[in-house]
Amino acid sequence: MQDKQNTRPVNIAVFVSGGGTNLQALIDAQESGIIKSGRIRLVISSRSDAYALERAANAGIDAVAISKKMYGSQEAAEKEIEKKLSEYEIDLIVLAGYLSILSADFTRRWDHRIINIHPALIPSFCGKGFYGLKVHEEALRYGVKVTGATTHFVNEIPDGGEIIMQKAVSVEPGDTPEVLQRRVMEQAEWIILPLSVEKTAAAIKTERDSQ
């Protein structure tokens, strides 16, 4: 007889820092059935005033703020994060606009179990210092005609992990960083992030169920 533990969905924690538009895309994808191999059980924010916490509450998902500032050091904050992940039996972490850099020790412990979304086609406009509007400002400054979004696994190198999915988006004449940011979210991020989460959760579930 199959173990009940093996039949449960993959438990997902979403890490956030701001408004939580990608979190909302994941919540919507879960409700519409795009994400079916996993379920979002926990939201962790690096800021206590992040609107993403409200989105989590509205969806009935437990949420907590944990930061280096609150706990005095990166090590202490990550220890608290690990405690929460253990408490909720988390199998997969999704970084959805999470602006804190996780330590190499943390990412090693979660090898191929942390997904990040980056608002450009890696290896363009990525790495340390490239996040949020800065990515789109640089794409426009450089004059590229095509940009997009990338999902990838997280390792100790910022934006350096194995790529899962990419989707291209056209840069239009007259684009501002804000306009381009919105188009990349709508046409790429909100599409490939849920698909990448489902793909990874399904793989974790298959591996677990076969043990």
Smallest Cα–Cα separation from 117: which of 195, 65, 174, 172? 195
Looking at residue 12, the DSSP 8-state letter turns out to be E
Q: pTM for this one? A: 0.94
| Residue 168's CATH number | 3.40.50.170
In a domain, 27, yes or no: yes
What pLDDT, on a 0 to 100 scale, did the predictor assign at position 154?
A: 97
Domain that holds residue 58: 10-209
184 assigned to some structural domain? yes
Q: Is 84 exposed, middle or buried (0-12, 13-18, 19+ CB in 10 A)?
A: middle
Q: How many CA atoms lie within 13 A of 184 on its CB side?
A: 29
Give domain status of residue 5, yes or no.
no
Domain assignment of residue 176, yes or no: yes
Rounded average pLDDT per 10-residue block, the chain, 211 residues: 65 96 97 97 97 97 96 95 98 95 95 97 91 94 97 93 98 97 97 98 92 76
Looking at residue 1, its pLDDT comes to 36
Is 4 part of a structural domain of the chain?
no
Q: Which pLDDT score, from 0 to 100, does residue 173 have?
A: 96
Split into its structural domains, the chain has a count of: 1
With respect to residue 136, please indicate whether it lies within any of the assigned structural domains: yes
Give the pLDDT of residue 208: 87
CA atoms within 13 Å, Cβ hemisphere of 130: 22
Q: Is residue 1 part of a domain?
A: no
Decide if 3 is inside a domain: no
Q: What is the DSSP string of 47-74?
A: -TT-HHHHHHHHTT-EEEE--HHHHSSH
Task: Indicate which residues carry an active-site annotation.
Answer: 118
